[in-house]
Chains A and B, each alone.
Chain A
Amino acid sequence: MKQTSIKARYLVNLAAALLLFALAVVIGMTGGSTMKLKITPSLWQCSYLIIMAASLNLVLGFLGQLSLGHCGFMAVGAYAASLFSLALQRAGFYTEKSGPAFMLVLLLSFLIAGASAALLGLLVGIPALRLKGDYLAIITLGFGMIIVNLINNLPFCGQQGLSQGSASSALYATGLGFSNDEKMQYLWVAALVVILCMTVMFMFVRSKYGRCIRAIRDNEIAAAASGINVSYYKVMTFTISAFFAGITGTLYACCNASLSTTSFAFTNGSILNSVFIVVMVVVGGMGSLTGSVIAAVVLFLLNYTIKNGAWVAALPAFLQNVFTYPMLVYSIALIVVIMFRPRGIMGSREFALCDIPKWPAWISSYFASRGLEKSAKKEAANHG
């Protein structure tokens, strides 16, 4: 690709990112109960789901390793950030949730959450990534469960410390937890974090490191033979992925103002759990960061509108019965996607704003090639 067109692409993406950020700031300044009670909390929840799915995609889609304990890193981040903010509040570093001192605390919380999760990712990754396939999945699955149990049994942070009633309102009153009004006010924080994290992840997969890990995914022996240090790159990717998962923990703590380890478990009733994050990556397309973003938003909206949307009530009664069991709907959605788009919504492609003008041409060529295939099949049938 020509140098100038790449520059143009960067400019378009930069403009889009700035627009998104400006939009978040503007939304934060508007009022209205729908905005405050429905749209803003949804945007906050989307923000952490997006980064979760995209960061898991680094390991699952680009490195080709199955990790089933991704929410464990999120839990580490969430608890590290919450404890840090509570400690600073008790030490009198800040007294209200605004002003430069609180901004500094917020920034440090994100970094500490990311760093602690990354450290754990490194510790788990070094032994675990020497294994392949199913064994890695089992180790990471175990890791997710161990983290949840460890947190539960630590006296200063488990169920006793942060989630139980008064302590949870302590996180809400004095720690990171945001009320609905503060969620509006600080919506730009969520937008900024999403934009920064996604940018860094894109830069990572487009860099020489990204090419190396894709080479490892496609053929480990060939990659090793061409001089790539396979374990080094594997551990590095795993650690980076854990770092971003840790950052989402801070977003979660801000958004929900109450932590309980069931939210970070292997499975639970909602859409935030280690398995469902894997589902998001698969639905979006393994090896497509934009696919993960789309899948996270789509599955969130599906979950949210089943319970709060008007469209379910408009369906005939026998269909409504299906929607009283949301898990059934997700599985049907997954079956449909896998049947018609076996490699996920986006496959391994990326969505790019600059490509939109080319879409009509792509779509017509897609149908043309299908037409050719069909006529070829008919031909073959006639001859057969």
Chain B
Amino acid sequence: MKQKNLLSLFLACCLAFTLTACGGKTEEPEAGGGDAAPAEEASGETITLGMIGPLTGSLAVYGTHIEKGVKLAIDEINAAGGVALSDGACQLAVETKDDQGDPTECVNAMNALISDGIQLVVGSATSGCTSAITSVANSEGVVMITPSGTADSLTTAMDFVFRTCFRDSFQGELAAQWAKDEGYTKVGIVYCSADTYSAGLRDAFTAACGDKGLEIVAEESVATMTEVDYTNQFNKMVSAGAEMVFTPFYYDVMGPYLVPQARSVGFTGVLLGADGVDNTETTIPDGADLSVYNDVYFVNHYSTELAASDVSTNFVKNYEAAYGETPNNFDALAYDAVYVYKTAMEACGASDAASVQAALADTSAAYDTTCGSFSFDETGTPIKNGVLMGYTYTAGDEDVSKITVKALSLS
């Protein structure tokens, strides 16, 4: 009996190790080519940035990409001699915390970073988690820049909370304007009323539709952001005659469930999502009918194809050299967040939270980022444009391909 117990314990451990061995972290190659030896002579002290994101759990892709973007930016900055403060150049380092996509864990992570003496934080990925730590950041006086928390209410006043992405109401407006420009008159909405992100986008889209004279013929809600059945909702869309349906969901349900089910009940129109739909190509199940992913579009922050400035072409080149894949918007926005910190630190010549906050709060300062140059508005949200991206599949191809349709800006 005893041996049996030990044997089963041993097997359980084996299972765990084999699982993790597959996903095990291998040493990632240094960014910036082979000669990326950090400029040792320039190193005064090291400034450690904090990073919070969902590294495990259902939204792990967000967190891991933010981590990659942050690390790439830090490696580049260090290789180029660090951050020039008033008392000499400093190297950058990062301390990473996993929040599992849960607000409570996110608060724990934030507190742990603050107690380690970190004053500048990049994170978190989703609006729900980020809203849980904004109050901590403000009360403890720690600057945070969220790369992808798009909910309007995250940054309402010029305080310690900033972001490098646009806000949901802007994203919703862009979506509505595109719908109007394309000549749609009857639109539908399928969203999740339980989620800050989804419900916020739906509110913004609804308001913008009202302004632009688009008729919302049907609106359906699902219970959770991880819902697996959307057939009822899309049956309603079809019977209401919606030409286009707005679907503010995350990639983890778009690929396997939402898109195929929408097509299976006979919805042939356009599915328009927001930035959460990016990465859907990673969640398409094997053997799926790829033609259903035609006419799926989403508003996004960033596109490698529209990379025009030096900063963005450099970013794409270095990212591909370091990780061997094309960057997505989480990489780009996190990368931007680090460079925004660098610019602000160099502007004020210090790395403490109060000075950096004051530098960031200067709305006239411009930041050169992968998405173009922007400055913050009076709430700490950048004033910038978006892009419309989508998926396309032509019969005979091996995979769906991600395409960039056009740059979007409010007229």
Interface residue ranges, A against B (CB under 8 Å): 33-34, 36-38, 41-42, 45, 145, 148-149, 152-153, 158-160, 163-169, 172-173, 177, 179-181, 256-258, 260-263, 265, 268-270, 272, 304, 307-308, 318, 321-322, 324-328, 332, 335-336, 339-340
Contact = CB atoms under 8 A, between A and B. Distances in A.
Interface stretch (B52-60, B280-288, B305-313): B52-60
B86 interface: no
Given A159-B199, A180-B140, A269-B57, A41 B224 contact: no
B102 A326 contact: no
Contact of A270 (B5, B25, B97, B104): B104
A82 to B, nearest CB: 14
B112 A37 contact: yes
Interface string B148-187: 0001111010000000000000000000000000000000
A149 B12 contact: no
A263 B136 CA distance: 18
A159 B193 contact: yes
Q: Is the interface of B mostly helix, strand, loop or mixed?
A: helix
Listed residue (A261, A269, A304, A321) with the most chain B CB atoms within 10 angstroms of its CB: A269
Contact of A321 (B21, B108, B140): B21
B411 interface: no
B13 A307 contact: no
B322 interface: no
Contacts of A160: 199
Nearest to A42: B108
B200 interface: yes
Contact of A322 (B17, B102, B135, B196): B17
Contacts of B154: 165
Interface string B250-277: 0000000000000000000000000000
Interface of B: 5, 8-9, 12-13, 16-17, 19-21, 23-25, 54-58, 97-98, 100-105, 107-109, 111-112, 114-115, 127-128, 131-132, 134-136, 139-140, 151-154, 156, 193-196, 199-200, 221, 223-224
Contact of B139 (A33, A180, A335): A180
A181 B139 contact: yes
Nearest to A325: B56
Given A168-B131, A256-B132, A159 B196 contact: yes
B19 A328 contact: yes
Contact of A307 (B9, B109, B115): B109
Contacts of B105: 269-270, 307
B271 to A, nearest CB: 23
A260 to B, nearest CB: 5
Interface centre among B56, B104, B134, B221 (most CB of A within 10 A): B104
A268 B102 contact: yes
Contact of B102 (A167, A270, A339): A270
A159 B134 contact: no
B131 A163 contact: yes
B212 to A, nearest CB: 23
B16 A169 contact: no
B20 A324 contact: yes
28 contacts: A33-B115, A34-B115, A36-B115, A37-B115, A41-B111, A42-B108, A152-B223, A159-B193, A159-B194, A164-B127, A168-B132, A169-B134, A256-B107, A260-B128, A262-B224, A268-B102, A269-B58, A270-B100, A304-B108, A307-B97, A318-B17, A322-B17, A324-B20, A324-B56, A324-B98, A325-B20, A335-B9, A335-B12
A31 to B, nearest CB: 13
A286 B54 CA distance: 33
A242 B199 CA distance: 30
Nearest to B6: A339
A164 B193 contact: no
Contact of A158 (B16, B193, B224): B193
Contact of A260 (B13, B135, B196): B196
A260 B199 CA distance: 13
A235 B20 CA distance: 45
A322 B20 contact: yes
A193 B299 CA distance: 48
A308 B16 contact: no
Contacts of B23: 321, 324-325
Contacts of B115: 33-34, 36-38
Nearest to A261: B194
A180 B133 CA distance: 12
A135 B115 CA distance: 47
B275 to A, nearest CB: 17
B276 to A, nearest CB: 15
A260 B127 CA distance: 11
B196 to A, nearest CB: 5
Given A269-B58, A340-B5, A153 B193 contact: yes
Contacts of A321: 17, 20-21, 23-25
Nearest to B196: A164
Nearest to B56: A325
A375 to B, nearest CB: 15
Contacts of A158: 193-194
Given A321-B25, A324-B55, A258 B103 contact: yes
Contacts of A163: 128, 131, 196
B223 A332 contact: no
Given A164-B200, A166-B156, A269 B112 contact: no
B112 A332 contact: no
Contacts of B131: 163-165, 168, 258
